[in-house]
Structure 1
Amino acid sequence: MIGIGQLLREAREEKQLSLADVERETKIRIRYLEALETENFSVLPGTIYMFGFVRSYASFLGLDAEEVVSRLKKEYQSEQEVQVETKPVRNPVTYSPRTRNIGRMLKLLAVALGICLILGYFYSYFLNRTPVDTPTDPAQVTDQIPAEPVVPPTEEQFEEVIQGIELVMTVVDQPGARCWVEVRADGITDFSGILVAGESKTVEAAETVWVKIGNAGVLSIIYNGEDLGNLGSPGEVLTLEFPMATEETNSQ
């Protein structure tokens, strides 16, 4: 059986579409499309994006999106189980507030002791020093190196621009479609209720958006302008958390 990446690539080539064509229609960046076709999923921001991008890409190519995502979930789950079995188990190390306080006190004592030793050394040095007559020389000329002007960094020197979060949730415009949604923006409940067919809800936050979806198969999500599509199946309950996004200013 061919892999998910090969399946997507062959379907795209059969339709004579370039990655740029797919990016323009699906709003999924080319580097993410390449990661999907090569199954280099570590390039993607997370598993939420992985399943969402595959669903949107497969649907755009006319494939059975649910079947493709189901296959991907099985393969991904099997890979995760293998990694868990081979990963060595380490005993967790816990730190109590008392342990941290003791460590902080030891550091302060070490710093104080070091300062005392340095002061004692200089005090002993100057106390035992024999005065030496210093001849008066003519005024000495000291070469001065002109200070270089400080140039503020330009915008190109900043690699990343930190953005907030904008989440747009829309129920598919189908008769009878409805979805219960609970949303928390930066830890504060923003919305809790039912969205009906064609209805949208936009949420903005500075750092995190927590979402619980009661019918993931009918709710599409756009995260900071990127269409993730439906992240689950009809009737599936999902709990998602979106962190603060970063975007490379020179990536485009």
Structure 2
Amino acid sequence: MIGIGNLLRQAREAKKLSLADVEKEIKIRSRYLEALEAEEFDVLPGNVYMFGFLRSYASFLGLDANDLVAKLRKHLQQDEEDAEDMKTRAPVYPPTTVSVGKKIKLLAVGLAVCLVIAYVVIYFMNQPVPQVVDPSLGQPAEETVQEQDTEDSIEATVEEPVFDGMELVLMVSNDPGSRCWVEVRADGETVFSGILEAGASQTFQAEERFWVKAGNAGVLSVNYNGEEFSDIGRVGEVVVLEFPPDNEL
């Protein structure tokens, strides 16, 4: 335990809020909030979402979000270093000793096996070699053509799987100081809530609908299914976008 969970739970209880209350306010599922408080980080859907959820939850409770995220990063890095150290540490086994009598017995067995193999090889070398006939010489040429056509037709039917849903790409301007707080919901579920730094981009997929809230619209560009939306608002302006737009429904 690194103490992050206790800080979150104590701050929430001090505000007399339940996990359901917090879920309604910041749109993060209560099971993810509970996982943060229990420090069960493997329940969360990847590091990007984990840091974003922690930052949003801590900020909502009035805690130092940057400090908690830094502690979590350090904890995860230490876990990775410990795991790598365990992999590289080779087990040490005590030296084994074999008695002289056992060595002689093993040598005798090995010699006997070699003699048997030599006898079998010599026996088969002295046998007449059967004539090998190429089976393809006795078959008509049409069959070869038919097999080739069959292989071509099988290869032609193999297609790469295609994602037939929707794709959304968020991109932040490369200008120094450009950053944007973003919340994204895919098919009604919050899949990202956090800050995108200058030059960052994130890609999301959904089956039916996207909902996006941006806190600094002037530095954010949106690409929806290949269509670019670069002028969605002014710097510092909070906007809410939905894709597909109502006129496409």
- Give the TM bin, normalised by the shorter chain: 0.3 to 0.5
Hey, which of these two has a bigger chunk of helix by percent? Answer: 2
Tell which has more relative contact order, 1 or 2 (C-alpha 8 A, sep 6+). Answer: 1
Higher CA-based Rg: 2
